[in-house]
Structure 1
Amino acid sequence: MDTAYAPQPRGSRVPVGVRAPFSGRTWREFLYLFLSLPMSIVMFTYAIAVISLGAGLLVTFLGIPLLAGGLAGNRGLGSVERARARGLLALDVADPEPVRPSKPGVMGWVGAVLKSGVSWRHLLYSLLHFPWAVFSFVLSVTFWTIGWALLAYPLWRWTFPAYLDQPGIQMWGDGSGNGFYLDTTAEIWITSGMGLLLVLAGPWVIRGLTQVDRVMVHGLLGPSSLATRVVELESDRGVVVDTAAADLRRIERDLHDGAQARLVSLAMDLGLAKEKLAQDPEAAARMVDEAHGEVKIALQELRDLARGIHPAILTDRGLGPALSALAARCTVPVKVTVDLDHRPAAAIEGIAYFTVSELLQNVSKHARATRATVDVWCTADRLVVLVTDDGRGGARTDAGTGLAGLAERLGSVDGLLIVDSPIDGPTSITAELPWRG
């Protein structure tokens, strides 16, 4: 198993609230809200034109293909929105499934577009996003610009007496020159302090507004939940097939290089002993004795191989004894606690067992730990396995590590792997599996 332990960079010491107004993320999100207004106007206008023109011409033959063409154009605008969200919001929404006509020809394509839920969801996005874009544009631009303007008030207050013939910002007045102006030193700095509060709060207001946009883009412009699930199942099936093929290759290699080679040698030794039995009984007896030792070694190798496929103790006695036996072979002292009222499905038991096996191997080889724990329990409809150690930490699930492969294998059965491993430890790795009892 590849190492999953590596150093991790430490975070910045500057508080998040102070960094936020100057961070690239805040300005990208503000730019997204700023551009949403013109983009939503284009999409809303186009959607209304498509609906009006298509519905108005439904009494003729032209209405249906025009409506289908308009919906297809709307999907094109949706791809622009996904690209904008990807670039400015770091929201990676997959492209929805393409139109697949069931019949060849133009009418087959028209029918496929009109039947596609993706097309109508794009149209709904164009209609719903417009009022939200107007609201978020006005709120974000007003909040953001007023905050920065008030914060910089000491720098630009001089423009009032120089160009407007008034001492500062007028809070109220009666039109005859009488009023209250922010012109004293205390008032100027209080105004700047209010601006600072608005500037510090601005990123969180902008972030809250863009969360709604994220939900709309993901829900209306992305693939349907059913299509996403189909893709996940196809990917999981590929992982299962690859894992099974790798296990078969490992078993074949272990048999060929281990027990098979030893049995071939054993057969040759017994053949020689048979030939010498009449001429030199003592030599034949020694060869038979050596062959007996070889048989014991071959049997042990076959037992180890069978344990690697599916241990008998797991089948006969369940997870508790099987994990205790597994912990006894670990180079680090391991405390095992299993709290299960009854046994899950055999397949889930096997995955849980081999998950703990790989995690304990990781602890033995890479964690530099002095002790570890394994806790197993059931919550709702999930089997939860928690493996902790007091080692050096830094475990990662990056591509290419053993934990990444383990996460893929768990994901193939709707499982989940959660890694909490700060530098200098401790490490806690949680595996969740569907119960399927």
Structure 2
Amino acid sequence: MGPTYSALDGTRPRPPVLGSLGYLLCNLPLGVAGFALMVTLFTAGLGTAIVWVGLPVLAAGVLIARAAGRFERARVHRMLGAYIPTPYKPLPEFGLQARWRARLTDGATWRDVLYLVLLLPLGIAEFTIVVTLWPVGLAATTLPFYCTYLPGGAYFFPAFDERWIVVDSPVDALPWAALGLIVLACAIALTRGMGTAHALFARAMLGPGPRARRLVESDTDRRGAVA
């Protein structure tokens, strides 16, 4: 039996931690931009298409979505180590109308649009997890080194006026440093796991569709049988 389609796309099963961290942090601003562009362009374009004014707006939305899809495939490859093949059907060499018909009837175009819309809620969730776990873990791990330099000469939790926990020496901070190491370990595992999950999601949305994947797998199996 030949290799599966996922084995042919060059995707590493475990993206690098730093690459995943940078990728996940960028997803929120890119998700906001992508969501705003897609919703604005397609809403305005569809609303004014009846008077033809909206057609250039819709065309711009399609071109931007496909350009953003190319950018995302490159970003996933660069930061997560997951290669995503270009999914678009070849455009006709001649005829403006025929070329636009090919773009609009290509399912990959609309998967690009859907991916940009979904990137916002995914980016919010990923960004929230990352910016919660990493700062908490780093702050707790390094607490023995800076606790005595804080205002009042100690660390007060939850606040300076509400002193439920007081850490006023490096020795007292050691248990919190150990807890911080556990949080950092969880942050590393979750960051890599979210990077892997997003790479798989991006490959499903931005790569060739199910029919194209089946064709590739069938062709690979036939070549393996002949060999």
Q: TM-score range by the shorter chain?
A: 0.7 to 0.9
The one-letter code of the counterpart of 1:167 is G
Q: Is the 8 A contact 2:126 2:194 kept in 1?
A: yes
Q: Deviations over 1:130-175 (max 9, x none)?
A: 1111110121122012112211111122330xxx2x2322214683
Which of 134, 145, 159 aligns to 2:135? It is: 145
Matching residue of 1:91: 82
Q: Identify the match of residue 96 of structure 2 among 101, 106, 116.
A: 106
CA shift, 1:72, in A, is 2.2
Q: Measure, in 2, the Cα distance between the counterparts of 1:97 and 1:116.
A: 7
Deviation string, structure 1 residues 97-156 (Cα, Å, up to 9, x no partner): 23535x942222222222211111111101111111111012112201211221111112
User: Hey, which bits of structure 1, 4+ residues long, moved more than 3 A?
Assistant: 172-175, 177-180, 231-237
Q: Which has the higher contact order (CA 8 A, sep 6+)?
A: 2
Q: What's the counterpart of residue 167 of structure 1? A: 153
What TM-score results when the alignment is normalised by the length of structure 2? 0.83
Greater helix share, structure number: 2
1:75 paired residue number: 66
Q: Against the structure 1 CA distance between its residues 182 and 108, is the aligned structure 2 distance closer, same or farther, given a 3 Å change threshold? A: same
Alignment of 1:10-409 (within 5 A): 25-101=16-92, 104-160=94-150, 164=151, 166-172=152-158, 175=161, 179-234=164-219, 239=223, 408-409=224-225
Match of 2:4 in 1: none
Supply the distance in 1 between the matched residues of 2:104 and 2:63 (Cα, whole angstroms).
9
Contact preservation (8 Å) 2:80, 2:196: no
Give the 3-state SS of the residue equivalent to 1:133 in structure 2. helix
Alpha carbons of structure 1 residues 60 and 105: separation in structure 2 relative to 1, 3 Å: farther
TM superposition score normalised by structure 1? 0.45
User: 1:170–1:179: 8 Å Cα contact kept in structure 2?
Assistant: yes
What 5-or-longer segments of structure 2 have no aligned partner? 1-13
Q: Cα RMSD between the aligned structures?
A: 2.6
Give 3-state SS (helix, strand or coil) of 2:16's partner. helix
More strand by share: 1
Identity of aligned residues (%): 24
Higher Cα Rg: structure 1 or 2? 1
Q: Post-superposition shift, 1:81?
A: 0.8
Gaps of 5+ in 1: 1-22, 240-407, 413-437
The separation in 2 between residues aligned to 1:63 and 1:138, in whole angstroms, is: 37
Q: Distance in 1 between matches of 2:75 and 2:81?
A: 9
Quickly say closer, same or farther: Cα 1:194–1:231, change in 2 above 3 A: same
1:405-420 counterparts in 2 under 5 A?
408-409=224-225
Q: Following TM superposition, by how much is the alpha carbon of 1:186 offset from its aligned partner in structure 2, in angstroms?
A: 4.3
Letter in 2 for 1:189: L
List per-residue Cα deviations over 1:30-86 (Å, max 9, x = no partner). Answer: 111112122222211221122122112211223234313311221111111111111
| Cα distance between partner residues in 1 of 2:94 and 2:53 | 19
Offset, 1:233: 4.0
Distance 2:58 2:34 in 1: 15
Count matched residues.
214
